[in-house]
Amino acid sequence: MMDFLITWAASTPTFAGPIMLACIGLIMSERAGVMNLGAEGMMAVGAMAAVALTLETGHPWLGLAGGLGAGVLLALIFGLAVVVLRADQILAGLAAVAIGLGAAGLIGKPYVHKTVAGIPRLDLPVLGDLPVLGPILFRQDPVFYLTLGLALVAWWFLMRSLPGLRLRAVGEDPGAADVAGTDVQLTQMVAVLVSGAACGLAGAYLSVVASQVWVEGMVAGRGWIAIGLVIFARWNPLRAVLGALIFGGADALTPRLQAVGADVPAYVMMMLPYVLTIAVLVAPALLRRGRGAEPAALGLAFIRQDRR
């Protein structure tokens, strides 16, 4: 039983990493007042582009950079629509999902089921040999450790830096931020591009690091889970780390149970992360906590002439 628990815990970060990355990016966008529902599509193009570039160049790190760039490109289209042209953010986000899934399926056809070398896990001397903690904490892939660092940087930027304060001000009251001299559109566009970069990198993590293969539909709703996780984390990047590990643990449980031959309904277990997502969305309403921690201007288009 102990071996099962250790193996399960050691595999959880690989499942949690992509969701964590996407959630951090979405928090940055939503803190600036832009609701990005296109995470699923951005992760899909990121996953496809990462494998394609890895196969073409032979370098998985270049593949990760390609996935990040693909996410930024789709986020640029989304950002131009919602920030510059002031399109409805929900509809534009759904359109971004459709564009991302369609582009990934079309462009990625030649790369389906082709495996890549991937990025090996680290095995830190001495620390990696520690009982229990060694395989869980010190034998993960370097991208997961990078993701933890990004979460800390994102928290510091939002909560402790002047640019982060300005970004949060845009999400709370863009009119007041504009009067104070902050370029609202530029701030929102940068936040959207950062969210696209994070989602693209999350997809690349999923295909190049976690799965080491590209398969159409492999994102499998993780972008939507990341959106729900933003609410669970209450728009705080550090809380997103905990939430992603919980969701990742639920996702990692099914293959571990199958590996030991446990007689559990596989499809029911595969539903578990999505059931958790629904619970996360419903819980705030049941607890009656009022408006919650979401930015006051989230989802609202800013028109300078309308400021009060």
Partners of residue 115 on adjacent β-strands: 213
Say yes or no to pLDDT of 95 above 80.
Answer: yes
Q: Of 24-38, 66-80, 140-154, 278-292, which gets the smallest average pLDDT?
A: 278-292
Give the up-direction half-sphere exposure of residue 2: CA atoms within 13 A in the CB hemisphere: 3
Say yes or no to pLDDT of 45 above 70.
Answer: yes
Say yes or no to pLDDT of 18 above 80.
Answer: yes
Q: How many CB atoms lie within 10 A of CB 238?
A: 16
Q: What is the pLDDT of residue 4?
A: 81
* For the chain, percent of residues with pLDDT exceeding 70: 93
What number is the average pLDDT over the span 192-216?
A: 96
CA distance linking residue 94 with residue 172, whole number of Å: 24
Q: What is the pLDDT of residue 268?
A: 72
Q: What is the pLDDT of residue 251?
A: 85
Rounded-to-10 torsion of CA 294, 20, 46, 123: 160
**Confidence label for 266 from pLDDT (cuts 50, 70 and 90):** low
What number is the average pLDDT over the span 254-266?
A: 72
The pTM of the whole model exceeds 0.95: no
CA distance linking residue 271 with residue 99, whole number of Å: 26
pLDDT per residue over 99-122, tens digit each? 999 999 999 999 999 999 889 888
Domain ranges for the chain: 16-220
Say yes or no to pLDDT of 27 above 90.
Answer: yes
